[in-house]
Structures are given as structure tokens and as C-alpha cells.
Structure 1
Amino acid sequence: MTTTELIETETATDVVNPAISESKKESKSCENCHQELNGPFCASCGQSSDSTLKYFWLVIMHLLDDIFSFDSRASRTIWPLITRPAFLTNEYFAGRRVHYVPPLRLYLFISIVFFITLKFFIASDDANSIDINGNQEVVTQVKAHIKQLKTKQNSLQESSLESTQTLDEITRLNEELAKFSNYFADLNREYTSGQNKQLIKITREMVELEFDKADEGLSSKKQERFESLIEKRLKLISGGIISEELTIANNEDGSLSFEFLSKEQNKKLNEFTEELKEKGEKAFNSDTGPLMEQVIGKLPQLMFILLPLFAVLLKVMFIFSKRLYMEHLTVALHSHSFIFITVLLFEMLDLLEDYLAETSPTIASFSGVVAGGLLVWIPIYLFLMQKRVYKQGKFFTFVKFSIIGILYILMIGVTAIVAMVWGIMGT
């Protein structure tokens, strides 16, 4: 066949089947080894044919999809995670995985959302705790007491009796009114600066002691505490700063040392504790918001250490279950994902209850009941999860569940201390 005939044959083929012609035009070569590509990956070196140079929003969408699996699997995963203990874990062990978000991706998604929103909830609680939770009742009591004092004062002033006893009582009422009016003003200060926070807390405790004193008198210990609060309050009002001293020591001279450490190591330890005390006093005696942000920022990193340790604990406690370590790690990932999302829902309902407390008390009350139910559901869920995954009797599961719970609380406590120290050193 001549060259002319070959060209005519290819042209005829292109006319008959334009798809073949188009594929020829679009055929690409590997950018790494320059071999012809016949699919999404190079048959020679294995490099993907998909370019990494894309529009930024496409890169973000791919990243979100890889990490969070934002598809129909999410809707099939979240509901069983909350309502069906061990369902997702057993499905994963049985090999039915394609319909659900993988455990690690699920944990990453929920933990990121949880720790981001936790900062918001803590900031909200910190700003409103005095006004809404602890302070409101005291403010109401002070208002009622001021009203009662004014009623007595007006009654005595309108009286025609002008005895020494009456005048003394009016003087006492005036002093009491002035004192409680000052309390009321302090309790209603704007809860923003660290100094105002300290003053409000001191005033609240003083008012509680004032009412105890009026009802049944104060014990010597309470009286001593009351006098100490008076000094602190006067110092704050006059513009002074109250410094709560931190103590980190196990020796009478105020130093910290351990026998298993060398003299040089103990010296470095004391240098570290001195720096920690200095930064801690500064953080706790001012606005604690930045410190809490630092602490919360450290928790996700520490949780990545705690998760494998929790899986080791499960491995030890259920050593005769013949399950692999990765299976215990899957239980840990699903357990923590459930705890995070449940606590997140609790915080949202608690916030809704506070928001609707005055406008819609019925809905607020219902939100409070549901929020309380969620907290009760956490230990029940985790117990059922361990029972259904490891398939042991109720008694043995309960014993192991209790031991695991106690040890895990200790682990959480150590994690919180590490996060606090890390946060203080970072402020």
C-alpha cells in the first residue's frame, strides 16, 4: 500500500469514526517519563496524569472531599454514630465500608468542628457566666434586700417618733443601703476586663457571706474569709492588682525536686517551674481568654497522642478478644467521634436554652431536658458499644467498662494538665 493510500485510509477512518480521530488529537504523554498515556496513570512510572496546577477553589474542594468525605456517606454515618452503639464499628469490621465515612476521616471532621466551636462556647460562657449562671440570683437577692431596706427607711422617716433608738436605726439603714447599693453597682459591672471579673467574683462571695451573717452569723473561718475579701475589694476599687500566688513545690523552702533526678536536672526543673509560676500568675490574674484559647489550641494535638494510648488500654482490657490493635483503634476513633458530636449538640442545646429562657420558656425547658438526656446517653452508649463489639456478658463488660472509665479519666486529667502547662508557657 502506497503512502497516498495510507493517508486516504486514515482520512476515511476519521470521517467514519470521529471519536477515534478526537482521541488521537487528545492523546497525551506522561510529563515525567514522556511515555504515551492510556489512562489516568502512567503505565511506565505510575505518575498521575491529573495536573496539580488547578484553580484554587478546585484544590480546596478536593482537599475537603479527601479529608471530610462530603458526600452521601456522611448522612449515612452521622445518624448511626449518635443513635446506634457499635453499628458503624461492626460494619467496618465486617467489611461493609463503602457506604460510610472511614473512621479516621470521621474523627478528623468531627474533632475539627468540635474544637473550633468549643472556643466559641467557652468564650460565650466566660462572658455570660456571671450575668446568667452565678450572678443573677445574687443580683436578684441584692435588689430585693435594697427594696426591703428602703421600705423600712421610709416607714421610720414617716414615723412621728424621734427617739434615739429610731435615729440609730435610720443611720444603720442608711449605711446598709449605701453598702448594698455599692454591691449592686459592682455586680452589674461590664464583665470584660480581668480586674472587673475579679471584683464581681469577690463582691458576689461577700454578698453571700453578708446574707449568711444576717441569718445565722459567721463562723470564725468565714469571718476571716470575709475580712480578707473586704481588703481585696478595697484594693481593686482603688486601682490595685490582686495577685494570686501559684505554688509548685514539694520542699519546705518552696523548691521542687525529685530523688530520681540529678542535681543539675532538679535545677533545670526549678527554673522551669519558676517561669511557669510567673506566667501562670500573670495569666490567671488578668483576662483568662487568651490562656483558654492557647489551651484549646493544644488539645487536638494531644488527643492524637491520647487516642492510640486509649486503644492500647482497650487492647489490654480485652486481650482475649483476639482483635488486632487497629480494630481497637477503630473503636477508639468511633467512641471519641461520638463523644465530641454529642458534647457539641449538648452545648448548642444549652446555648439555645439560655437564649429562649425569657421569650419561650417551654421550648427552653424542652431543650434543657434533651441536653440532659444527651449527657446521660454518653456512658450508656459507650457501655453498649463495648458490649456489642467485644461480645462479652453484661457483668464482665460493666467491670471492664468501669476500670477503663477510671483510667481514661486519669488520662484526660493528665492531658488537661499538659495542655494547661503548654498553654501557660505559650502566653
Structure 2
Amino acid sequence: MSKEKLRKDRTCLNCNHEVDQRYCPNCGQENTKTSKSFHHLFIHFFEDLTHYDNAFWRTIFYLFFKPAALTKAYISGKRLSFLPPIRLYIFISFITFLLISIFPNETVKIKNTPNVKISNDVIVPTIDSLHIEEKSVDGLTKVGILSQKNNDTIKKILQQTEEIDKKEVADFGYKSINELDSIQKNGAEKTKVSSTEYWFLKKWLSVKEENTNEEIIEKFSESFTNNLSKVLFMYMPVFAFILWLFHDKKRWLYFDNGIFTLHYFSFLLLLILTLFFIDKLFPVFGSNPVLGWIHFGIKSIGISWMIYYFFPAHRRFYGEKFMLSFLKSSAIIIVNLLIITILIILFALYTYINIH
């Protein structure tokens, strides 16, 4: 029951009908004050998505542990007992991609550094435990921490590391765009490349000239992650269409397959979010072999459930015999994997084209 104060005016703001109690008997709008605080708007936003009642938690439980039960209940007409499929997917998708974007990609790990123990009270770090930049090596030599011999050795190692880093991303045999253009215009026919290859190589070299290796990887990952939610949303109608092709068109409408798809994709995103949090949580407790095995076990169970989930969900929803359902499920998964592979390649190419 809402605890907001009622308006003194008994005329409904929505339909001008007289309101005797809290809700308008004509349109159902609550007769409360129109001015709301930011706190109310924030809380009301999540209430609209989750209802904050048994329907939300019942929906999540069915989605996670009862494959297809949620879809069967919705199709049979039990609509008020669970969250609507579209609202459920939008909420889970929003929370999943928001939290993944907020948390850092890698968990910071503290490494134990080797030290030399002089006495019970004094511990001096060894040279190997110091993270030294090349510009600071001379300073360490001046104060007597490093000898000149060690100074030269460390500088040589650092220079070699930088050279390796610069060559880490392949240049496909071309040092610059000018070299590529020169070969393409003046080189022998066997050294020239096709127009498609030329476009790809020129784009790659221009990206390399403007970005470091780390920046290229970071930009690609960021763009890929930011657009993944859109790709998933656009792919759901395709997934539902493939389901429709494999089943009786008279018994199962495209709408029914669409509801199944919404619930299945919601499950996948929710499990991905759960595994993501597990990966972030365990390193907080430190590096322990027992915790490592527990982490591995939980993650393995989660991934196995993600792979297995579609088979019982498909069999229970469509009500087919075990072997027929297994064959159809396998075929549907294979077809989708082929399409998804092609889409990922195209999506990666699109992401690559838009890197600046």
C-alpha cells in the first residue's frame, strides 16, 4: 500500500472522475500529489521494473532453476504472477551491462616480492622486487644502489622489452602507409594486393600509427562491449524465427517462440552477471588453493548449467519426446552458432572500422 499523502481535491487528474478513496474507480490512477522528490523517482524507477514483491523473486527463481516453467506459465495466461518478459529482459540487460561497464576489467593482484632479510627489524628489497623505469636507473646508480654494470644490463633489458612491445601487433610486412602506397603504385604485380586487402591494410596501419598496442586493444574491447547489448537485442527475433522454423506452425505461433526467446536470453544474461560477480568476489579473499578450487568448481557448474539449460527448457516447453527434442535442440544450437559466428566476425569488422 502506498504511503504517499492524498490530494485534498477529489477530482482525478487523469480523467476528471470523482475519487472517493485512494485510487480512481474509473481509470485506477492514485490520487496523490504530483510533486515528487528525487528519492521517490529513484525508488519508483526500480519498483516499476521489479515491483519489489513476490512476483520479482518468483520470476528470478523460475528463470534460474525451472527451465521453460516461466514461459509455460506466461503462455497459459498466468501474467500477474510474474514480470512481463520484455520488462524482465530490459531490466536484466540494463543491470548486467551497467555493472560490467562499472567494474574494472582486471582485478588487481598483489604479488609477493622477494626480499633480503638483514635482521628481525630490517628488510631490504632486492633489485628484482623493484619496478624500475629506465629513467630512474641512473639515479639508483648515483646513490650506490646499483653498480654501473647492473645499470647497463637493466637498460639493455628495458630497451629490448620496448622493441618487443612495439612489434607486438603485426604490421603484415609494411612499415607505414607510405610504403604500402608506394608498393601498390610502383611495385611489381606480384607484390600488389587486391583493393579489399589494400583498404584493410591501410586502415590497420593508420590505426597503428595513431594508437599504441594497449590503446588499440582497449578501444576495440570498449566498443565491442558497448554495442554487444544492441547486437543481442537485434538477434533475438532471428533466434525466435529459427525456433519457429523447427516447430509446428499451427500449434506454436511466432509470439510463443518470442516469449521463449526473451526468457532464455534473460537467463543467459543473468547467469553471465552472476559468474562475473563470482570472478570479482573470489580474488578479494586472496590467493588460496582451496578458494581457487571452490572458484573453479562454482564457475564450472555455472558454465555447464548455461550449456545444458536449453535442452530441458526446449523439451518441457514444446512437449516433445526426449530424442526428438534432443535432435531439434542440437540442430537449433548448431544453426545459431553458425549465424552467431558470422555476426561476430561482421561485428568485429564493424568495430575495427570505427576505431580511430
With normalisation by structure 2, the TM-score equals: 0.67
Q: Which runs of 5+ in 1 are unaligned?
A: 1-22, 144-180, 191-231, 258-268
2:55 pairs, out of 63, 70, 73, with 73
Amino acid at match of 2:100: L
Please show how residues 287-306 of structure 1 align to structure 2 within 5 Å: 287=215, 288-306=217-235
Taking structure 1 as reference, are residues 275 and 237 closer, same or farther at Cα in structure 2, changes over 3 Å only? closer
| Residue number in structure 2 paired with 1:94 | 76
Deviation of 1:395 after TM superposition, in Å, equals 1.6
Deviation of 1:25 after TM superposition, in Å, equals 6.8
| Residue number in structure 1 paired with 2:265 | 336
Deviation of 1:120 after TM superposition, in Å, equals 5.3
Please show how residues 200-349 of structure 1 align to structure 2 within 5 Å: 236-237=161-162, 241-242=166-167, 243-245=169-171, 253-257=192-196, 274-275=202-203, 278-279=206-207, 285-287=213-215, 288-320=217-249, 322-349=251-278
Contact 1:30–1:42 (Cα < 8 Å) also in 2: no
Contact 2:236–2:262 (Cα < 8 Å) also in 1: yes
Amino acid at match of 2:17: L
Taking structure 1 as reference, are residues 117 and 54 closer, same or farther at Cα in structure 2, changes over 3 Å only? closer
For residues 270 and 79 of structure 2, the distance between their equivalents in structure 1, rounded to whole angstroms, comes to 21
Contact 1:307–1:332 (Cα < 8 Å) also in 2: yes
For residues 27 and 296 of structure 1, the distance between their equivalents in structure 2, rounded to whole angstroms, comes to 51
Amino acid at match of 2:221: M
Contact 1:86–1:385 (Cα < 8 Å) also in 2: yes
Contact 2:55–2:82 (Cα < 8 Å) also in 1: yes
| Residue number in structure 1 paired with 2:297 | 369
For residues 329 and 376 of structure 1, the distance between their equivalents in structure 2, rounded to whole angstroms, comes to 24
Amino acid at match of 1:57: H
For residues 273 and 330 of structure 1, the distance between their equivalents in structure 2, rounded to whole angstroms, comes to 44
Contact 1:356–1:364 (Cα < 8 Å) also in 2: no
| Residue number in structure 2 paired with 1:395 | 323
Amino acid at match of 1:304: F
For residues 421 and 95 of structure 1, the distance between their equivalents in structure 2, rounded to whole angstroms, comes to 43
For residues 248 and 211 of structure 2, the distance between their equivalents in structure 1, rounded to whole angstroms, comes to 45
1:62 pairs, out of 44, 47, 55, with 44
Taking structure 1 as reference, are residues 370 and 234 closer, same or farther at Cα in structure 2, changes over 3 Å only? same
SS of residue in 2 equivalent to 1:99:
coil
For residues 304 and 270 of structure 1, the distance between their equivalents in structure 2, rounded to whole angstroms, comes to 34
Taking structure 1 as reference, are residues 331 and 271 closer, same or farther at Cα in structure 2, changes over 3 Å only? same
User: Which is further off, 414-423 or 95-104?
Assistant: 414-423
For residues 281 and 420 of structure 1, the distance between their equivalents in structure 2, rounded to whole angstroms, comes to 20
- The structure richer in helix per residue is 1
| Residue number in structure 2 paired with 1:28 | 11
SS of residue in 1 equivalent to 2:106:
helix
For residues 242 and 327 of structure 2, the distance between their equivalents in structure 1, rounded to whole angstroms, comes to 14
For residues 270 and 255 of structure 2, the distance between their equivalents in structure 1, rounded to whole angstroms, comes to 22
Taking structure 1 as reference, are residues 102 and 421 closer, same or farther at Cα in structure 2, changes over 3 Å only? same
Contact 1:353–1:368 (Cα < 8 Å) also in 2: no
Please show how residues 151-162 of structure 1 align to structure 2 within 5 Å: none
Deviation of 1:281 after TM superposition, in Å, equals 7.3
Contact 1:283–1:291 (Cα < 8 Å) also in 2: no
| Residue number in structure 1 paired with 2:18 | 38
SS of residue in 1 equivalent to 2:52:
coil
Contact 1:255–1:270 (Cα < 8 Å) also in 2: yes
Contact 1:28–1:37 (Cα < 8 Å) also in 2: yes
For residues 11 and 293 of structure 2, the distance between their equivalents in structure 1, rounded to whole angstroms, comes to 65
With normalisation by structure 1, the TM-score equals: 0.57
Taking structure 1 as reference, are residues 283 and 64 closer, same or farther at Cα in structure 2, changes over 3 Å only? farther
SS of residue in 2 equivalent to 1:54:
coil
Deviation of 1:92 after TM superposition, in Å, equals 0.7
Contact 1:89–1:330 (Cα < 8 Å) also in 2: yes
Q: Which runs of 5+ in 2 are unaligned?
A: 1-5, 115-125, 134-156, 174-188
For residues 357 and 294 of structure 1, the distance between their equivalents in structure 2, rounded to whole angstroms, comes to 32
Deviation of 1:43 after TM superposition, in Å, equals 7.4
Root mean square deviation of aligned Cα? 4.3
SS of residue in 1 equivalent to 2:214:
coil
Deviation of 1:308 after TM superposition, in Å, equals 1.0
For residues 295 and 164 of structure 2, the distance between their equivalents in structure 1, rounded to whole angstroms, comes to 43
Contact 1:89–1:334 (Cα < 8 Å) also in 2: yes
For residues 270 and 119 of structure 1, the distance between their equivalents in structure 2, rounded to whole angstroms, comes to 35
How many residues were matched structurally? 296
Q: Percent sequence identity over matched residues?
A: 22
Taking structure 1 as reference, are residues 119 and 25 closer, same or farther at Cα in structure 2, changes over 3 Å only? closer
Taking structure 1 as reference, are residues 278 and 363 closer, same or farther at Cα in structure 2, changes over 3 Å only? same
Taking structure 1 as reference, are residues 25 and 282 closer, same or farther at Cα in structure 2, changes over 3 Å only? closer
Deviation of 1:343 after TM superposition, in Å, equals 2.2
For residues 28 and 373 of structure 1, the distance between their equivalents in structure 2, rounded to whole angstroms, comes to 57
Please show how residues 6-21 of structure 1 align to structure 2 within 5 Å: none
Kindly provide the CA deviation profile for residues 175-207 of structure 1, in whole angstroms up to 9, marking residues without a partner as x. Answer: xxxxxx99x789x789xxxxxxxxxxxxxxxxx
Please show how residues 148-187 of structure 1 align to structure 2 within 5 Å: none
Amino acid at match of 1:279: V
Contact 1:295–1:422 (Cα < 8 Å) also in 2: no
Taking structure 1 as reference, are residues 99 and 36 closer, same or farther at Cα in structure 2, changes over 3 Å only? closer
Contact 2:219–2:355 (Cα < 8 Å) also in 1: no
